[in-house]
Amino acid sequence: MTKTIFTVTAALAAGCALAQLSDDEALKAAKETLAKMTLEEKTQLLAGSGTMTLAAIPRVGINAEWTMSDNSSTVRPAMNRWDWGYPQPRSENTKLPSLSALAQTWDVEWARKHGETLGAEMRDRGVDELLGPGVNIMRTPLNGRNWEYLGEDPVLAAKLCVPMIKGVQSYDVAATVKHFCLNNQEWNRNHVDTHVDARTFNEIYLPAFKAAVQEGEALCVMTSYNKVDGIWASENKYNQRGILRDRWGFKGLIETDWGGQHSCDFAINNGGGIEMHWGQGIKYLYNPKEGKFPLAEAVRAGKVPEANVDEAALHTLYVMAKTGFLTGAPRKAGERNTPKHQQIARGEGADSIVLLRNAKGLLPLKTEGVKKVLVIGKGANDKQCGKGCSGEGNVPYEITLFAAVKKRFAEAEVKLMPFCAKMEIATTDTSNAAIAGGHVEQKTKVDYCDPAELKAAAEAADLVIVFTGTELGYQENMESESRDRVEFCLPPALQAAMHTILDWKLPNLVVVSRSGTPVGYTWTDKADTLVQTSYLGMEEGNSIVDVLVGDVNPSGKLAQSWPKAYADTAVAQCGTYNGQNVSYNERFYVGYRWFEHKKIEPLFPFGFGLSYTTFAYGDPSVVKTGDTWEISVPVTNTGKVPGREVVQIYAAYPGAKVERCEKELKGFAKTQLLGPGATETLKIKVTERDLAYWDDFTNRFTTDAGDYEFLVGASSVDIRGKMAVKVAGTTLYRD
């Protein structure tokens, strides 16, 4: 069966939203309600009535508060009306893998299931709007929120966010694509001013947002905290009106990030939407705590045309109508924490894991006869689901790697020991994490183990699992919002401990590294067996063990180039990373585009990942219909165990008239589980428009007539086939 057939079948099985009106019907319903509203009531549609709500206005038929909830991998518990706290008891929800993990699956089906799971859990909780997905591109490995995003490539991020959004919204709720735009670091995120040239903006940083809005039909967009060319993103006319509304035809609502509103009339006159903040901080447009209406006053004072208020209020009502919230139409029923959702968390997680090294064939592990297992690294038993600020959740249970190993090796003695690394770690108190500044540093001593004692335990074990990487939170090198990691590398004492342990040359040692972003490692050439995972949510331990023992053959591939050193990265070499004015001078050379342009070898390239089996690629072929090529790639499992393979199509521009990257991802597909000897022909479509660059002179995407190449890759560097194609005439695209 081909991929095409599989996708169509799956889409049919997915079912549709019940309440959704057509765009015209929704607009009509929204207009009818707007016509009944007073200026004050319209103002109420443009600001929170609390931290996560918009006001109910029963007089016009809005009988309940519109409720929002973070994030991209779970439905975070409801929050207090006037602060960031949670009321008791907190609701429990499934926590799925983070988006950085979803990106590593390279699988649109997982993206759809991920979205549907969130949509179903929202409905079960009575949540109307999800504050996700986040689609900001990874520009620097230091960004504290890379784990919340979909990697470094605009095409990968775009193709995965679309089915996820559709999955969420198939439950008659709204998804919010965030953070629009150029929020590619957390360092001073609330004040930093970003500057990017038009070509880079259009080719790298906008495509995922555009796909989210146009193909995914995301109903909401959240603006970012930062400034863009001196103007706050929340009041940036060029981006909000010019790009979102005029160019992309976005009909849904725009809202600020929490606390990202800076003005009343300036924002609303420049296409700004809903002001959100922790309840008490809402004040520019409407002050729910004090019952004041500054926006209505600004209209009366002649500072804001009422038409601008109407326009913005209509967008809110339109979203309410599309989801059935406004019209009272029956909405799809949801469910929460079901075995099905738990299986999705576990399966998506396992399919996202990337096998980086298996030099001695130690994996998959043999479970029989294993009497002693040593897990090194206390992180292997630290729960993560409740951490990560707005990315956090409250889960019914969480399986750590240590717990899963204990369960899987039930007959063995399984021991957990800390690293032989004497360390103190700085903790940052971020009681109000969304607001930069005011952090308090403290020092915590990390558990330490004597190297001789650790070595004796490791040598006595039949299996040693070393667990390294980052954690979520606010200690040094942890990943979380409102702060970037300070160092690319893990603390020197930890690196030294890794060298010490690997120098023992234990034949039965696996390194599992977990992070949502590349981390500087100095020891990888000593690690024969190395597995990379991102944050996998509440089934994390099970997902990892499923892969280690071979119940699931790893099929994840890196969504981020893994640099050897921070000094190799574009932002380091171009000096374009700071906390004040950030000029994206590396331009479109982001991720693998940079490494290829500068001929710098990364530690592990974008798109790379091994399997327990091997795949042979047959000769690719290409057929063109209209302006679309269909590339067929036969993939055969030539090994001994079933497995899945991701095939990537890159475009190269041998005859380009303008500066272009060496190659760029244009499409990808993943096989089903192929048994030994089985072949599947993947079909991947690329259009002439996909080959376009942004032309600064015409302000248009342009595909020049000429020669192009499609490269069939098992990764960005492992190219298995090439096809030359031609474009007959030059075309300029409006967007």
**Which residues of the shown chain bind ligand BGC in the complex (CB under 6 A)?**
70, 131, 178, 257-258, 390, 434, 481
Q: Are 104 and 43 in contact (CB under 8 A)?
A: no
CB nearer to ligand BGC: give 153 or 257.
257
Residue 459 Cβ vs ligand BGC, minimum distance, rounded to whole Å: 47
CB nearer to ligand BGC: give 131 or 538.
131
Q: Which of 70, 257, 265, 690 is catalytic?
A: 257
CB nearer to ligand BGC: give 225 or 409.
225
- Can you read off the two tokens belonging to residue 240? 């909000």
Q: Residues 90-115, buried b or exposed e (16+ Cβ, 10 A)? A: ebbbbbbbbbbbbbbbbbbbbbbbbb
Residue 621, φ and ψ in degrees, nearest 5: -135, 160
Residue 193 Cβ vs ligand BGC, minimum distance, rounded to whole Å: 18
Residue 166 Cβ vs ligand BGC, minimum distance, rounded to whole Å: 20
Residue 179 Cβ vs ligand BGC, minimum distance, rounded to whole Å: 6
Helices first, then strands: H and E counts in the chain: 19, 30
CB nearer to ligand BGC: give 258 or 594.
258
Alpha-carbon distance 206 to 304, whole Å?
29
CB nearer to ligand BGC: give 255 or 471.
255
Please confirm, yes or no, whether 704 is among the known catalytic residues: no
Angle CA 140–427–464, to nearest 5 = 75
Residue 259 Cβ vs ligand BGC, minimum distance, rounded to whole Å: 7
Half-sphere exposure (CA, 13 Å, Cβ side) for 329? Answer: 20
Residue 175 Cβ vs ligand BGC, minimum distance, rounded to whole Å: 12
Alpha-carbon distance 292 to 44, whole Å?
10
Residue 256 Cβ vs ligand BGC, minimum distance, rounded to whole Å: 9
Q: Are 210 and 248 in contact (CB under 8 A)?
A: yes
Angle CA 97–485–221, to nearest 5 = 55
Half-sphere exposure (CA, 13 Å, Cβ side) for 683? Answer: 13
Q: Residues 700-730, buried b or exposed e (16+ Cβ, 10 A)? A: ebbbbeeebbbbbbbbbbebbbebebebeee
Q: Please enumerate in sequence order all residues whose Cβ is within 8 A of that of 233, keeping only pairs 6 or more positions apart, or say none.
A: 179, 180, 181, 182, 183, 223, 224, 225, 226, 227, 239, 260
CB nearer to ligand BGC: give 258 or 474.
258
Q: Are 134 and 178 in contact (CB under 8 A)?
A: yes
CB nearer to ligand BGC: give 121 or 257.
257
Q: For residue 351, give the 3-state DSSP assignment.
A: helix
Catalytic residues: 257
